[in-house]
Amino acid sequence: MTDPRAGGIAVLDFGSQYTQLIARRVREQGVYAEVFPHDASEATVRQHNPRGFILSGGPNSIYEPDAPQVPGWFWHDGVPGGPTLGICYGMQALTHALGGVVASSQTREYGMAQVEVTQGNPLFAGLESSLSVWMSHGDRIEQPPSGFTGLAQSTNSPYAAMGDPTRGLYGVQFHPEVAHTPHGIDILRNFLFHICGCAANWSPIAFIEDSVENLRAQIGGERVLLALSGGVDSAVAGALLHRAIGEQLTSVFVNTGMLRKGEPEQVVRTFQEERGMTLRAVDATEMFLDALQDVTEPEQKRKIIGKLFIDVFAEEARQLEATGVKFLAQGTIYPDVIESAGSSKSARVIKSHHNVGGLPDDLHFSLVEPLRDLFKDEVRKVGEALGLPDNIVWRQPFPGPGLAVRCLGNLTWQRLEALREADAIFIDELARAGLLRGETAQCFAVLLPVKSVGVMGDNRTYEEVIALRAVQTDDFMTADWVRLPYDLLARVSNRIVNEVKGVNRVVYDVSSKPPATIEWE
């Protein structure tokens, strides 16, 4: 079987906030892309025989002490290891390595800019001569290396793009990977298919077939334990493992009592009843509620839930290990791998991954991570190809501690049930309006520890407040609140006040990220 990862693109990361986005944009064209720290070894970078390289942007100036440089192994007698595209800082690093001159620009370029293509070339083939692009740089190319010519210019950058077509080397001072560069995808496609000669082999079906073969080779006849949360990552990991090894897989689902309405029942129904997987469902609701009694500080809630979850899961794991289970499977996905690597000095760690870590030392499992090569959107596509239902595949992001961090203040069963009902009403109305896919990235209700005066019939009430949150985002690093129709908000508010006991007021959160976060706690 042909490895769908072979013949793709290696992205060397110089610390840009957009590095993952470069890989995603390449994969969207059906070409595998993998991100490596700029100082990764040649053997590591070449393990899947990439046909080309992309050097990412970064926050440094090329002449700063310890500024990241193109690695020495990249050159063989002055010739690069394959066609290369340098983006922003990557262009400057390429220039510096080959003897060109980079200098600080008197006028920095940030935001939208116009570039003029000055001569025909493969990188801009089929595009207009004037292009809108997204700039984000303070330095610029003063003199390209020998063999390069200028391909485009802007008001402040005489070499907004440069190239050496003979060697397949190109650089652009702007960011083609961001949505603010309208024809950026066309530029990347030209590089992938016309310059590198890549083939579009990366697809959900190809990934599944390759993964099934690799999982069977890795696991053999041994048994595997999977922590099944009900979220999309663990669900797809479970479905993929079940296809590969069938009854050798045992999944453990811990119900903390903090899940959304109907989710515990849906997990059991989907995976045990419909898909025939071996599933151990543990209802630890009372245990979690007891541990969280009178705890109101959000970080303390998170720590208590995380520790108790590990304790409960570890007990199940011990029992299974005693029966011969050798492997522990996790729903780790590619952004977790990139952000947790930390091997490059220029890496900007945004978050650490939060799978089943911290298990006691007496448990000795080998790790299986079947989704570690996938971005979230790819996980969903694989889930669809595996036949998982839409309400699993397209389940909205949900924090690890669950409703505990959306139920602000003291946690009681009554308050959690009120929040569950309000959240279900909000999601139901959004679904009816066709706003759960595409128009919104994350939507939920929050129960506030605030009471307000209200009137119901002839009676005065003094009850709690529900806040509604709906955001749109491509990467969850930034997000904007969704301008939901007023009539929809009116229906949701009316239903919540009438159907949810203990709530008499509904508000809508109109804060973007930044300065706010998506979650409230």
Percent of the chain past pLDDT 90, that is, above it, reads 73
Asked whether 102 and 54 are in contact (CB, 8 A), the reply is: no
Asked whether 224 and 327 are in contact (CB, 8 A), the reply is: yes
How does strand 130-143 pair with strand 503-508?
unpaired
Whole-prediction pTM value? 0.84
Residue 109: name the closest of 85, 91, 133 by CA: 133
Q: Where are the beta strands (DSSP E) in 300-436?
A: 325-329, 366-368
Q: Looking at 96, 137, 175, 242, which residue is catalytic?
A: 175
Q: What does the pLDDT read at residue 354?
A: 40
pLDDT, one tens digit per residue, over 55-112 is 999 988 888 888 999 999 998 766 778 899 999 999 999 999 999 998 876 555 567 8
The amino acid occupying position 162 is M
Asked whether 518 and 476 are in contact (CB, 8 A), the reply is: yes
Q: Give DSSP secondary structure letters for 154-168.
A: -SS-TTSEEEETTTT
Cis ω for the linkage preceding 37 (within 30 of 0): no
How many angstroms separate the CA atoms of 411 and 419, rounded? 11
Q: What is the dihedral of CA 328, 331, 335, 340, to 10 degrees?
A: -30
Q: Looking at 177, 263, 463, 464, which residue is catalytic?
A: 177
pLDDT at 353 over 60: no
How does strand 169-172 pair with strand 84-87?
parallel
Asked whether 466 and 424 are in contact (CB, 8 A), the reply is: no
Clarify whether 177 is annotated catalytic.
yes
Q: How many CA atoms lie within 13 A of 31 on its CB side?
A: 27
pLDDT, one tens digit per residue, over 428-480 is 999 999 998 878 999 999 999 999 988 777 677 889 999 999 999 876 777 89
The tokens of 142 are what? Answer: 């003063």
How many angstroms separate the CA atoms of 437 and 445, rounded? 18
The tokens of 36 are what? Answer: 């490596």
Q: What does the pLDDT read at residue 300?
A: 94
The amino acid occupying position 455 is V
Asked whether 108 and 155 are in contact (CB, 8 A), the reply is: no
How many angstroms separate the CA atoms of 291 and 36, rounded? 42
Percent of the chain past pLDDT 70, that is, above it, reads 93
How many angstroms separate the CA atoms of 443 and 436, rounded? 8
Clarify whether 175 is annotated catalytic.
yes
The dihedrals phi and psi of 281, each to the nearest 5 degrees, come to -100, 125
Q: Looking at 34, 38, 88, 443, which residue is catalytic?
A: 88
In a 3-state reduction of DSSP, which class is residue 426?
helix
Which element (helix H / strand E) includes 455?
Answer: strand 442-456
How many angstroms separate the CA atoms of 264 and 254, rounded? 9
Q: What does the pLDDT read at residue 165?
A: 93
